[in-house]
Chain A
Amino acid sequence: MDIIVCIKRVPQTAEADVTIDYTGKEIEKDRLSFDMNESDSYALEEAVLLKEKFGGEITVISLGHQDTEDTLRIALAKGADNAIRIKAEDFDELDGYKTAQIIKASISDLNFDLIFTGCIATDDAYSQVGVTLAELLDIPHASLVIFIDTSEKRAHVHRELEGGLMEHLDISLPALCTIQTGINEPRYASLIAIRRAAKKEIKVLGKEEIKDENILLNTQIEELFIPPKTKEVEFLTGSPGESAGKLANIFKEKGLI
């Protein structure tokens, strides 16, 4: 079973002081850590688990700048066989649709039974690349996948929906799944695998190698801004008795008691 896994190197912004850069369309990234997008690491692990079961090859692909190769190498150490970086520097501004078109053009020579992507990227949170890529390739897809059981021709998948609902689907292969976090436990890389990965070649594709001339950008970012504060958090200090007194006063002031 051959599987393509799309991964993205993203800045870790959850515990950072995020600021907007001079263009007004990007965040300042100089002091941020970068890492494989969280749900992509689950997608990679799911592919490795299927490879362990059925054999085949895993190709990881990422549209990014030079440092994306560090992330691809981590994927190689954690079980991928081949890695491709598409040079983001060749493609100016990107959106989900344009990224999906570029990936489609880049994998035109590859055989695959499944494509996995993460269900959402933690930086732009579009959740578009996976499903758009499936539509462009004209293959079935399932998003927010939390369970997969495959045979050679078909896959039985569970989708995690809002409100605690679960949808069970039977889809024919080749297909694309966007993988939800929690589907498995991503593994560590052993030192042997790390050394092996260090020696592997990462294929780099630029605009010239990708022959599709009609790659379009559908959306453009006009402005990025930090939303103004609308609510304030107040910490009540002092002994438990004093804090309770202050809290009671606030309730009274607001007319709640």
Chain B
Amino acid sequence: MKDKKNLTTEINPEIRDILIEMGAEDIYKCYQCGKCTSACPWFQVEIYDYPVFKFSLETALGAVASSEDKKELDKEIELIYRCVGCEACLEQCPHGISTPNILRAARRLLVDFDSYPETLKSIVQKTHNVGNPFGEHRENRADWAKGLNVPDFQQGIEYLYFPCCLPAYETRNQKVAQATVGILQKCEVSFGILGVKETCCGEVIRRIGAENIFEEVTKANIKEFKDSGVKKVLVTSPHCFTTFKNEYPDFGADFEVLHTTQYFSHLIDTGKLKLNKSFDKKVVYHDPCTLGRKNNIYEEPRNILKNIPGLEFLEVENFNRNLSLCCGAGSGGLWLEWEKDERIVNVRLKQLMDTGADIIAVACPYCLQMFEETLKSMDVDIIVMDISEIIFECL
């Protein structure tokens, strides 16, 4: 980011207007108080000063990604793609401005003009081409369910279980989908999966800015759900949850969506899910941004954990619930590499480990993946488990 901008020459109303048209309409609400910057996870990575509060002003001036100098432009675009979309800024903003939405307007233009990081371009293309961001074959999408007697979804089944891409393909995350299925079967829930017909929900590619491909994926998913007679969808990922619940209706979706923590909490409260075995561990819960801040689901995961016999429940001091710090994986962050001392995940893991917990409980495949990958390079005993896995161990 340039230290000084010559404002008289750099105001570009045309760029401002197109960014407003693409979703940055909140820019004029900003009075530059800077609370967003102090809330941003990049602020926690102490060496990096991430100028969140500047983005509204720069957008209002049409001065986003505006440099004609190649290296300077690289830096500006890198800043735009640093945002992990956690909305910690929105939580603090007195005027309710979502900086991720403002940045997404710029991202949409940059994606249309092939001007965004190659790694993200690759996941957008893979999602478009084969329905998942890893480039895995469609025919292998239901391999995680082999031998588990999971029925294909059909008319008359109550719930569609939609694991989405990480739990479908990634070895560590597959265990979460398998545990979820185990719980559903134990509780005799009527459910099925789309199997190889399942396609990525598209949340991450929308955050990256690939709006056109997101729309294509969304419409195809809605058609598949309608054709299959899906009325209720149960999801493992808060990212599927938020896009299904808050964004798909704009494209004609009319199904109910539940996150597994909501459903399992309900099953515990109604006595249908019985936790018989003791889980004698100290467990700290990490609120995923997309489940907590974006969808206000704080109590259900806690209710589950507090109902597990023997489990000692811990909170991260100061940084819990709506003040939870992001794992760094959102909005494409899972695929972007930063210098070791610039990684949000390290700060969050330290907060979680400082509680003295044996286990970090998560409720999001992205958080699980991010923590697992980072812990591999650390000499520590703490382990990460999805809440579904903890429940499954207690059945």
* B185–chain A nearest beta-carbon distance, Å: 24
A25 within 8 A of B: no
Known contacts A35-B114, A77-B113, A195-B14, A190 near B67 by CB under 8 Å: yes
Known contacts A189-B114, A195-B15, A33 near B137 by CB under 8 Å: no
Across-interface contacts of B213 in A (CB, < 8 A): 33
- Check A191 against B137 for contact (C-beta < 8 Å): no
B337 within 8 A of A: no
- Check B74 against A188 for contact (C-beta < 8 Å): yes
* B260–chain A nearest beta-carbon distance, Å: 27
Across-interface contacts of B73 in A (CB, < 8 A): 187-188, 190
What is the interface of chain B mostly: helix, strand, loop, or mixed? Answer: helix
Number of interface residues of B (CB under 8 A): 35
CA distance A190 to B130 in the complex (A): 30
CA distance A187 to B66 in the complex (A): 13
CA distance A244 to B110 in the complex (A): 48
- Check B14 against A12 for contact (C-beta < 8 Å): no
Contact of B129 among A15, A41, A77, A189 (CB under 8 A): A15
- Check A188 against B15 for contact (C-beta < 8 Å): no
- Check B15 against A191 for contact (C-beta < 8 Å): yes
- Check B130 against A17 for contact (C-beta < 8 Å): yes
Across-interface contacts of A17 in B (CB, < 8 A): 129-130, 137-139
- Check B115 against A188 for contact (C-beta < 8 Å): yes
B200 within 8 A of A: no
Near A by CB (< 8 A), chain B positions 211-226 give 213
Across-interface contacts of B130 in A (CB, < 8 A): 15-17
B64 within 8 A of A: yes
Contact of B125 among A33, A36, A73, A192 (CB under 8 A): A33
Near B by CB (< 8 A), chain A positions 14-57 give 15-17, 31-33, 35-36, 41
Across-interface contacts of A36 in B (CB, < 8 A): 114
Near A by CB (< 8 A), chain B positions 90-128 give 106, 109-110, 112-116, 122, 124-126, 128
- Check B64 against A191 for contact (C-beta < 8 Å): yes
Known contacts A33-B128, A33-B213, A188-B74, A193 near B68 by CB under 8 Å: yes
- Check B129 against A31 for contact (C-beta < 8 Å): yes
Contact of A31 among B62, B115, B128 (CB under 8 A): B128
Across-interface contacts of A15 in B (CB, < 8 A): 122, 125-126, 129-130, 135
Number of interface residues of A (CB under 8 A): 24
CA distance A45 to B364 in the complex (A): 41
Across-interface contacts of B125 in A (CB, < 8 A): 12, 15, 33, 35
CA distance A195 to B12 in the complex (A): 10
A175 within 8 A of B: no
Residue of B nearest to A11 (CB): B129
CA distance A189 to B66 in the complex (A): 9
CA distance A35 to B129 in the complex (A): 13
Residue in A36, A73, A194 whose Cβ sees the most chain B Cβ within 10 Å: A194
B352 within 8 A of A: no
CA distance A184 to B109 in the complex (A): 24
Near A by CB (< 8 A), chain B positions 119-169 give 122, 124-126, 128-130, 135, 137-139
A102 within 8 A of B: no
- Check A194 against B109 for contact (C-beta < 8 Å): yes
- Check B129 against A74 for contact (C-beta < 8 Å): no
- Check B128 against A192 for contact (C-beta < 8 Å): no
- Check B128 against A190 for contact (C-beta < 8 Å): no
CA distance A74 to B115 in the complex (A): 9
* B250–chain A nearest beta-carbon distance, Å: 23
Near B by CB (< 8 A), chain A positions 178-204 give 187-195, 197
Residue of B nearest to A194 (CB): B113
Across-interface contacts of B18 in A (CB, < 8 A): 195
Known contacts A188-B115, A190-B73, A191-B15, A16 near B66 by CB under 8 Å: no
- Check A187 against B109 for contact (C-beta < 8 Å): no
CA distance A78 to B139 in the complex (A): 38
- Check A32 against B129 for contact (C-beta < 8 Å): yes
Across-interface contacts of B15 in A (CB, < 8 A): 191-192, 195
CA distance A36 to B67 in the complex (A): 23
- Check A16 against B129 for contact (C-beta < 8 Å): yes
Across-interface contacts of B128 in A (CB, < 8 A): 31-33
* B170–chain A nearest beta-carbon distance, Å: 15
* A81–chain B nearest beta-carbon distance, Å: 15
* B142–chain A nearest beta-carbon distance, Å: 15
Across-interface contacts of A188 in B (CB, < 8 A): 65, 70, 73-74, 77, 110, 115-116
**Contacts A191-B15, A192-B12 given; 13 further ones with Cβ under 8 A?**
A15-B130, A31-B128, A32-B128, A33-B128, A36-B114, A74-B113, A189-B114, A190-B67, A190-B115, A191-B110, A193-B68, A195-B14, A195-B18
Q: Which 5 A-B pairs have the closest CB atoms?
A: A15-B135, A188-B115, A16-B129, A33-B125, A189-B115
Cross-chain pairs A/B with CB under 8 angstroms, 10 sampled: A16-B130, A17-B137, A17-B138, A31-B129, A78-B115, A188-B116, A191-B106, A192-B12, A194-B109, A194-B113
